[in-house]
């Protein structure tokens, strides 16, 4: 019943989370009024207690430790390897600011190479998001200038010469290659295409190929 478990703000609260006991204050748990924990200690949620009077919460205690520390001081401190699991816990406890912090941390922790093929039938650069582009192969069946300008609008790094994208440009019949590494040919072959050494061209047309590194 609403209000039946309500306790004074200054009182200490004990919680049994997944079999592990935690102790904190109602003020700490009430930092975000719409959260599960705030509603629980304010009696807005029907909650069970163990034999010692601690609130019973059937969730991961290790993740709860991070959440409780965030409520004490709003700084996210955790191993990046558990961010995905921690986000689920933040969603369960309905702590939106923490969930947003975790999402930011997840984005900044990404460090991977992703190969992307975009055909001419697909509107290029519509939802292409990356911080660094390490190779581009463009079909010259499309207007080269328009393609480059569209890319610059989405990715300003294209106009720089700081190693993120090399400014070298080579035209081989139907293809313009802008490359940042000597592995460009390797990237091409990873897509299942072959470079025609005799004619100096790639054997597929109307494709933009992006090799990108996302760093957040």
Give all domains of the chain, ordered by start, each with its CATH number: 12-109 (3.30.710.10), 112-214 (no CATH)
Kindly give the pairing relationship between strand 169-172 and strand 55-57. unpaired
**Alpha helix ranges (H) inside the chain:** 26-29, 36-41, 61-72, 83-92, 96-109, 144-154, 184-190
Where residue 180 falls (left for φ over 0; alpha for ψ -120 to 50; beta otherwise) is alpha
* CB-count exposure of residue 184 (10 Å: 0-12, 13-18, 19+): buried
Please give the Cα distance from 201 to 153 (Å, whole number): 28
Per-residue pLDDT of the chain (216 residues; tens, 9 = 90+): 344 455 554 589 999 999 999 999 999 999 999 999 999 999 998 889 999 999 999 999 999 999 999 999 988 988 878 888 999 999 999 999 999 999 888 876 554 433 333 333 333 333 333 333 334 444 433 444 344 444 444 443 333 333 333 333 334 333 333 333 323 333 333 333 444 444 444 444 333 444 333 333
């Amino acid at each position: 019943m609403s209000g039946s478990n309500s306790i004074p703000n200054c009182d200490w609260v004990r919680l049994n989370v997944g079999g592990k006991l935690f102790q904190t204050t109602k003020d700490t748990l009430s930092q975000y009024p719409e959260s599960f924990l705030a509603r629980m200690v304010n009696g807005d949620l029907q909650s069970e207690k163990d034999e010692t009077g601690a609130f019973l919460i059937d969730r991961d205690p290790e993740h709860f430790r991070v959440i409780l520390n965030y409520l004490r001081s709003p700084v996210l401190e955790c191993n990046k390897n558990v961010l995905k699991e921690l986000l689920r816990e933040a969603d369960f406890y309905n702590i939106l600011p923490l969930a947003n912090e975790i999402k930011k941390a997840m984005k900044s922790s990404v460090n991977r190479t992703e190969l992307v093929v975009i055909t001419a039938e697909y509107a290029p650069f519509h939802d292409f998001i990356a911080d660094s582009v390490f190779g581009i192969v463009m079909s010259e069946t499309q207007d080269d200038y328009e393609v480059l300008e569209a890319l610059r609008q989405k990715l300003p790094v294209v106009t720089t010469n700081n190693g993120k994208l090399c400014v070298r440009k080579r035209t081989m019949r139907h293809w313009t290659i802008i490359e940042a590494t000597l592995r460009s040919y390797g990237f091409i072959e990873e897509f299942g295409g072959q470079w025609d050494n005799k004619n100096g061209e790639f054997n597929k047309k109307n494709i933009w190929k992006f090799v990108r590194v996302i760093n957040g």
